[in-house]
Chain A
Amino acid sequence: MSNASMDSVQVRGAAIKIQNQPSPWAAFAIRVAFILGLMILWELVTAFSGVPTYLFPPLIGPRIDTEGVFHLVHPGSVLAAFQRIVSDGSLLASTLSSFGRMAIGYSVSVVGGVALGTLIARNWYVRQTIGSMVLSLQSLPSICWLPFALIWVGINENAIILVIVLGALFAIAISTEGAIRNVPPIYTKVGRVLGAKRLALAKDVLFFAALPELLGGLKVGWTFAWRALMAAELIRADVAGIGAQLQVGRDFNDMALMFASVITILAIGLLVDLLIFGTAERAVRRRWGLEK
C-alpha cells in the first residue's frame, strides 16, 4: 500500500521498522470525518452567505429567532424535509418502489449482459455483427429510449424497467467481453487438457478467471441502471420513486425535498458500493492473493 506508514518497534533492544497498514477503522473514520466536514461547510455557507433558504436550504439550520428562542431544525431545512418524508412514509415507499424496478431491471441486465458479452467474446460471428454495434448502443443515453418504451410497452412500470435494461445491459456486455478476452490463455489450455469441454470450460474456468474484471463491469452496470432509473422517474413523476420525488420537489418549489432526494440517491449509491460490490471485490482480491 502506498499510504502505509512505518512503525518503530523495539526488538531485543534494537529499534526496527515495520510497515504498517492503515486499519479499516482508520479508513472509515476518515470517510466519516470528510462527510462531516462537508456538512459543516454547508451549514456555514447557508448561514452566512445570505442566499435565500428556498434556493439553497441549510442541512439543519439551527438559529435563535427574534424572541431569543433557540430552534434546532429550520422548517425549510433538508433535515426537516427528511423528517416529513420519513414520517409520512413516502421516503420508504419511493425507495422501495425504485428498488423494486432496479431489482427486475438490473437482474435482466446482468443475465442478458453477461450472456451477450460471453457470446461476443467467444463467437466470431456474433462479435462481427452485434459486437460491432454494442458500443454505439451504449453511447446512446438510455433515457432516449423512454419515448420508444412508452409507446411500445405502454405508460407503465415496464417502460421504466425497459429503460433500465437498455441503460445497463450493453455496459455489462462490453465489460464481460473484455473480462473474458483478457483471461490469460493458460487457463483455457489447462482446462482443455484436463478434459473440460465447452460448457465446463465456460462455467468452471472462464467465468471464475474473468470474475475480478467482471465484478468491475457489474458495478459500472449498476451505476448505469441506477442513473437510467432516476432519469426515467424524473420524466414519469406520476409513479412512486426517488427520482419522481425529486421531480415533485421541483413541482412544488421545495428545494429542501429536492436536496433530500439527491442525498438519498447518493447515499444509496454509496451503500451499495460499500456493502455489495466493495465486499465482493475484496473477497475476490483476497482469494486471488491480490490483496492481503
Chain B
Amino acid sequence: MSIEFQSVQKFFQRPGKGGMGRVQALSPTTFNIQSGEFFSIIGPSGCGKSTLLNLLAGLDEPSAGKVLVDGVEVKEPGPDRAVVFQEHGLMPWMTVRHNVEYGLKLAGMAPKDRQEKAMQYLRMVHLSKFAESYPHQLSGGMRQRVSIARALALEPRILLMDEPFSALDAQTRDVLQDELQRIWEETRTTILFVTHHLSEAVYLSDRVMIMTAPPGSIKRIVRVPFAHPRQKTSNELSAFINDLHQDIKTEVDIVAARELDPDWQPENAIRQEDGIVMQGEGI
C-alpha cells in the first residue's frame, strides 16, 4: 500500500477588503507515506497539517494536485481511511459497543460478526467491560480510547489521527501515547498522526514531517532512528527532540509575530546566532 501527496495545494476563501479574498493554506506539497509506517506531521497553527489529513480522509478537496491511495485518487471519505479526531465524536445515543459497530454496520457486516469485532477492538483498548455503557458515563481518556477502537474496528489501510490527545490532560495523554505505540506494534496499521507536540511525534513516529508557517510547506522530513518500542525517558530520544525543537520554534515564532502586537519578540531571538528571520522584518 502506498500513499502519495502529489503537488497538493489548498486555497481558502476568506472575506476581506473588497469582497472575498483567497488565502493560500498549503503551498504545493509532495510526499509519500510507506506501508506500515507511523508518519507524523507537526507545525505551527495554520500550517495546513490538519488540511493534509482532511485531504487524505476525503473530507476536503485539494485546490490543485492529487492525493493517491494505491494509485487511486481520493474523492470522498471511505472506511479504508479511518479517522480519530481531537473531539471523540462518539454518538451519545449509542452504547459504546454500538458506536464501535456503526461503521461495520454501514459496511453491511452481519450483527453477530460486527458485535464480535467490536468487542475484539474494545478489548484492545481495555474497555470491553464498558461495552454496554453510554459515552457520557466514561471519562475523557476512555472516550478517546473508544474512538480509537471505533476507527481500528474498520481495519483501515491507514489510520488518520488529528491531534487525538490534545484535549486530554497530561497524565491521560501519557498513558494513551504508550497504548498507541503498543497498538501500532500489534496491528502494524499505517498511521498518519497530526500533532503540535514535538516529543509526542518523535516518541511515536518512524518519520516526522515539520511544516513551515503558512502558507504551509515541508520544512524537512526527519527519520527517527530508534527502534520501537521506545522509552519516553531515554536520553537519546530527549537529545533528538532538543535538536528538532528550534526548527519548530522558528515557525511558531513567525506565526506569533504575525498574530501578536508588534512589540512582541521571540524570547531567544536575540541570542540566536542566525538571528531568527523575524527581527523587525514583519514578514
Contact = CB atoms under 8 A, between A and B. Distances in A.
Interface of A: 184, 186-187, 189-190, 192-196, 200, 204-205, 208-209, 211, 287-289
Contact of B154 (A192, A194, A208): A194
B87 A193 contact: no
B72 interface: no
B102 A204 contact: yes
Contacts, number: 58
A194 B92 contact: no
A209 B91 contact: yes
**Interface pairs A-B: 4 shortest CB-CB:** A289-B136, A194-B103, A190-B89, A186-B89
Contacts of A208: 91, 93
A208 B94 CA distance: 10
Interface of B: 57-59, 77-79, 81-83, 85, 87, 89, 91-93, 102-103, 106-107, 134-137, 150, 154
A106 B193 CA distance: 50
Contacts of B103: 194-195
Nearest to B162: A189
A190 B88 CA distance: 9
A204 B87 CA distance: 19
Contacts of B135: 289
A238 B4 CA distance: 76
Nearest to A194: B103
A193 B136 contact: no
Contacts of A205: 91
Contacts of B58: 192-193
Contacts of A184: 87
Given A194-B82, A195-B79, A195-B154, 16 more contacts: A187-B89, A193-B81, A193-B83, A194-B79, A194-B150, A196-B106, A208-B91, A211-B93, A287-B92, A287-B93, A287-B134, A288-B92, A289-B92, A289-B134, A289-B136, A289-B137
Secondary structure of the A contact surface, majority rule: helix
A189 B134 CA distance: 20
A204 B99 CA distance: 11
A190 B148 CA distance: 12
Contacts of B106: 194-196, 200
Given A186-B85, A288-B136, A289-B137, A195 B91 contact: no
Contacts of B136: 288-289
Q: Which of B57, B89, B137 has the most CB of A within 10 A?
A: B89
A287 to B, nearest CB: 6
Contacts of B102: 194, 204
Nearest to A209: B91
